[in-house]
Amino acid sequence: MRIIDRLNEDRIHISFEVFPPKTDEGFEKVISTTDEIAKLNPAFISVTYGAGGGTSKNTAKIASHIKDDLHVLSLAHLTCASSTKDEVRQVIGNLKELGIENILALRGDIPEGMVFPSDNRFRYAYELVEEIRRHGDFCIGAACYPEGHVENEHKEDDIRYLKQKVDSGVDFLTTQMFFDNDIHYNFLYRIREAGITVPVLPGIMPITSAAQMKKSRDLSGTVFPRRFLSILDRFGSSPAAMKQAGIAYATDQIIDLLANGVKNIHIYSMNKPDVAAAIMSNLSEIIKA
Catalytic sites, residue numbers: 17
16, 62, 250, 265, 279 from 205: Cα distances, Å: 10, 21, 7, 11, 11
Per the document, the length of the chain is 289
CB-based contacts of 62, cutoff 8 Å, min separation 6: 18, 20, 30, 31, 34, 47, 74
Strand locations in 107-232 (E): 139-144, 172-177, 200-204
> What's the CA angle centered on 135, arms 130 and 138, to 5 degrees?
80
Which residues, in sequence order, are CB contacts of 249 under 8 Å at separation 6+? 179, 206, 207, 228, 231
Distance, CA of 196 to CA of 188 (rounded, Å): 9
